[in-house]
Amino acid sequence: MKIIGHCYINPRGAFFNGQNVLIATEENYLKNYFSELKIDYSKFYKMDLLSKGAFLGDYLLRNSYKDLLHVENELQFIFANTSSSKETDIRFIESYERKKNPSPSLFVYTLPNILTGELAIKHKWFGENIFYILTKFDSEFFNDQIVMSFLRGNEYCLCGWVEMTGSPEDECFMFLVAKSEVVNENFSNNLNEILNTYRNE
């Protein structure tokens, strides 16, 4: 198990492999980063917070994907958070309670795993996907999931902790892991160190 790239996004900045890539200059930081990165992808504007976060994280990781452009099936998504799609859920409830019109375009984002669909569409990845709800980021848990995924025959795992509800504590931490012969006993410790460094930036 080898981490071949990682990134982190929060309302203050965006990072790739430990390096600060962007600093937020506007309150709407996701739109801010999207504009700064000059990405041409009009569907971005329609996405919910979770999908926007994961989409930008995926873009920050673009240089780590170089060796897996041929991969269609053997890349699995393993994502998790605590609050599911809470922000969109509340907006959908408002659409029928306050605006008196249940909004279909909000409803389709009231599931956390929609973000994996967005990434699959963008890259034409047909691999396995799963979304977990955890009380907090758990490196051991991700470690187990990745081990299982590789034993099932996958070659890469794109993992993400996307806890975003519109709060200053929001964060999107993503890491790409490749299968390797070398057993990495310290995998979960490494993962915790990486995330803690980002959190303390």
Partner 1 sequence: MSELKEKLKTQIIEQLNLEDLTIADIKNDSPLFGDEGLGLDSIDALEFIVLLDSYYGIKIDDPAIAKEIFHSVDSMADFIESKK
Partner 2 sequence: MERSLKCYLKYGAIISPLGDRIEEHYSAFLENKSGIKKEGKIGFNSENFFLARIDNLANSRYNTLLNQACEKLIQNYSSSFLQNPKTGVIVSTTKANLAAITSDTFESTRRIIDEIIHPFHEPIIISNACISGVLAVNTAADYIRLNKFDQVIIIGIDVLSDFIIYGFQSLFALSNEACRPFDKERNGISLGEACGILVMMNTPDDDCIVEVLGGASSNDANHISGPSRTGEGLFRAIHKSLERSGILKEEIDFISAHGTATTYNDEMEAIAFNRLGLNHIPTNSFKGYFGHTLGAAGIIEIIMCMVSMEKNILFKSIGYTEIGTSERLNVISENQKVEVTTVLKTASGFGGGNAAVLLKCIQ
Residues that bind partner 1 (CB under 8 A): 28, 30-31, 34, 41-46, 91, 101, 103-106, 108
Q: How many angstroms separate the CA atoms of 155 and 1, rounded?
A: 10
Q: How far is the CB of 99 from partner 2 (least distance, A)?
A: 12
Q: How many angstroms separate the CA atoms of 135 and 125, rounded?
A: 29
By C-beta, is 19 or 135 nearer to partner 2? 135
Binding to partner 2, residues 123-162 (CB under 8 A): 123-135, 141, 144, 147-148, 151-153
Distances (CA, A) of 5 to 62, 89, 91, 167, 201: 9, 31, 33, 26, 18
Long-range contacts of 14-20 (CB under 8 A, 24+ apart): 14/56, 14/60, 15/60, 15/198, 15/201, 16/60, 16/61, 16/63, 17/64, 18/194, 18/197, 18/198, 20/201
Binding mask 76-105 for partner 2 (x = CB under 8 A): -x----xxx-x--xx-xx--x-----xxx-
Task: Provide the 3-class DSSP secondary structure of residue 72.
Answer: coil
Q: How far is the CB of 125 from partner 1 (least distance, A)?
A: 18
Out of partner 1, partner 2, none, what residue 23 binds, judged by CB under 5 to 8 A for its kind, is none
Quote the DSSP letter at residue 183: -
Say whether residue 71 binds partner 2 (CB under 8 A): no
Binding to partner 2, residues 101-130 (CB under 8 A): 102-104, 107-118, 120-121, 123-130
Q: How many angstroms separate the CA atoms of 94 and 170, rounded?
A: 22
CA-wise closest residue to 52 among 118, 98, 107, 8? 118
By C-beta, is 23 or 148 nearer to partner 2? 148
Q: How far is the CB of 88 from partner 1 (least distance, A)?
A: 9
Residues near partner 2, by CB under 8 A: 73, 77, 82-84, 86, 89-90, 92-93, 96, 102-104, 107-118, 120-121, 123-135, 141, 144, 147-148, 151-153
